[in-house]
Structure formats: C-alpha cells, structure tokens
Amino acid sequence: MRIDSVPGRGAAGADAPAARPGSTTLVLLRHGETALTPQGRISGSGGSDPALSETGLRQAEAAARRLAERGGVRAVVSSPLRRAQQTAEAAGRHLGLEVQVDEGLVEADFGAWEGLTFAEVRERHPDDLAAWRASPDVAPGGTGETFSAVARRSALARDRLLARYPGQTVLVVSHVGVLRTLLRLALGAPAASLFRMELSAASLSAVAHDGDGSGSVRFLNDTSHLEDHH
C-alpha cells in the first residue's frame, strides 16, 4: 500500500491548493445513491443494508475515473456497509488497489428513524428531532447512536489511517454522518455544524493532516465528475 498527496478540484471546479509536503491527505468519498437516496429516506447502520442503485453505480464509476485521472491515491479504506463497499470497489478497480475495511467508518444507527424521511420524523417525533439537533449526546430514534459516539469512533478511525499511511493520500469511502464528522473535526467546528454541510452522493472532499494531527479542509462536496453521468 502506497500513498501521496492529491491535488484536487473544488466543488466550484477551481483548482484546490495542494497539501503541504509531508502531510497525510484523506480524500473523502460519500457512497453513490441507493434507492432510498432520492426519496430522502434515512439509511444508517441500523436498518436494511441497501445496495447502490443503477444511478449510484454510475456515480461510483464516475468518481473512480476522476480519482484515477487525478492520481496519487495509495490506499482505499471503506465502511463495511454494502453501498460504501460497492463505491470503494469501483475506485479500487480504477486505482489498482485492494479495498480495506474499517468498522469505524460505518454510518450511524438512527434507531426507530431508519427508513423515514426527516419530514416524517418532524411530523411524528418533533420534540425528539429538536432535541437531537440541539445536542450531540441525544440518540436519534431513542435507541440510535449519538453524534458524540460517532465523533469518537470517527476520530479513532482517522488516527489509525494517519498512523498507517503517514505522508500519503488515502481514499476514505463512507457515509454522510461520518464524513461530515471528519470535516467538522478538521475545522474544529461545533457539533451543530454537521447540519450546515452539504455532502452529495458520490461527492469528493479532502482533509490534509500535518504531522501534529491538525487538519485543513482542502475542498468540499466536489461533484463535477457527475455532471455528465446523471
């Protein structure tokens, strides 16, 4: 397994600044769409484990081609859930790399909210939704995983990658909750910022980490590779 730094293009298409020499870059790829994505249905780790839809498979291929064109990635690490694995496998094929799995990258469990839309949650459980949005220590759906817990395991997964691939570039294929958390931690932003980031299906973002562990967001929610692949 090998790794380098990767120049990127931002969400607006402008060249993103190159990471500083010696930094470890985590390129963050959200999985492609499933049948639930266009409906806005909550799909965590506590419900069904949906596969990518035909659109999601096309999105995964488009992201993989972009990453191969960009070059520099030396490892692919994925959540164990099927939609992330399928997205990672497309990248691995184009990059010539075997997909590694890190359980810490799995999506949050949303408890009783799994399969609902947020509009349905707001209608049926307005107080619970308000409490969850107000505090990272509140479990969604009563029995789900708090964002505080997601932050702890996401940070541990990040630290494993930084220790294993120093000075290299790693593709991290995961879910919106975990990837937003990694971006939030890099920014040193409060938990409420999780609700203020857009991470589209099959989007690319990147965080560069210096040797002291401090993070710098290099680009966010790049979907330019999907423009001709709807």
Catalytic residues: 31, 107
CA distance 33 to 100: 21
CB 207 within 8 A of CB 189: no
Closest listed residue to residue 86, CA positions, set 32, 35, 39: 32
* b/e 59-78 (16+ beta carbons within 10 angstroms → b): bbbbbbebbeebebbbbbbb
